[in-house]
Amino acid sequence: TIIATDIAGNTAEKTVSVSVVDIGLSTSITWNNIGTDNIINTAEMATATLSGTVSVIGTVSSISVSSIVFKQGDTTVHVITTNLPAIVNNTWALANNSAWTSKLTQGDYTVIVNLAGKGASNQDVTGLNSITTKIDITQPAQPTFTLTNDTGVSNSDGVTNNGMMTVAGLESDATWQYSTNGGTNWTNGTGTSFTLTEGTHAIDAIQVKQ
């Protein structure tokens, strides 16, 4: 009810009926073919896809994916506005394509999927959702290893009574392995060292990879 009062104190009333319609769009977003660590490596990038299921509040028609945005922090790296996936039975899927995967370099990403549709009165309805992931497609450096404590007469004689080896050049949060038989068998490493068993080890038999 709206009441108007003039300077003399006279009033007038008007009652207006207002209807509020709850309406909206959103979508889930899932990276596919990237394992469970939420980190996309080079091999996974070659098959990675995006997909989602659209949720609708109220009556919305002509729903479509209007754009897919890839951002690093506040910087927009790439935007897909053409050849966008169709929404079929409220689901969509973006196929792997170098047209967009080649634009994504090393770093932490936020993917934003924007939706568009029409309400019951033909009004524009929009919605979006986002997901974060890490892309790690830079080949790590070859790690190095040395005797932690060379107790031999010479630093170059390869003789010691302490078999601990110190590993250097490991990438942050990387996993690494070592082999003592030329790469035939590998053991998962921990920390930044491993210990050789007593005996003679050929110079090329000891290997480390990450």
In which band, very low, low, confident or very high, does the pLDDT at 8 lie, cut at 50, 70 and 90?
A: confident
pLDDT computed for residue 117 by the predictor: 97
Q: What is the pLDDT of residue 17?
A: 61
User: What proportion of the chain, given as a percentage, has pLDDT over 90?
Assistant: 70
> Tokens 């290893």 appear where?
145
Quote the percentage of the chain above a pLDDT of 70: 97
pTM beyond cutoff 0.75: no
The answer to whether 18 and 107 have CB atoms below 8 angstroms apart is no
Residue 101: closest CA among 34, 30, 45, 35: 45
| pLDDT band (50, 70, 90) for residue 16 | low
Domains of the chain (ranges plus CATH)? 21-135 (2.60.40), 140-210 (no CATH)
User: What average pLDDT is seen over the chain?
Assistant: 91
Tokens, residue 98: 């170098």
Give 127-141 pLDDT, tens digit per residue.
999 999 999 998 888
Residue 74's pLDDT is 97
Predicted local confidence at residue 18, as pLDDT: 58
What's residue 20's pLDDT? 54
pLDDT tens digit sequence for 105-115? 999 999 999 99
Q: Look up residue 168 and give its two tokens.
A: 């250097």
Is residue 68 within 8 A of residue 79, CB to CB? The reply is: yes
* CA-based end-to-end distance of the chain: 72
Instruction: Count how many residues are written for the chain.
Output: 210
Tell me whether strands 107-119 and 124-135 are parallel, antiparallel or unpaired. Answer: antiparallel
The rounded distance, in Å, linking the Cα atoms of 10 and 1 is 16
Predicted pLDDT at 19 = 54
The whole-number pLDDT of residue 21 equals 55
User: What is the C-alpha separation between 50 and 93, in angstroms, rounded?
Assistant: 6
Q: For CA atoms 124, 92, 131, 56, give the dihedral sign.
A: positive
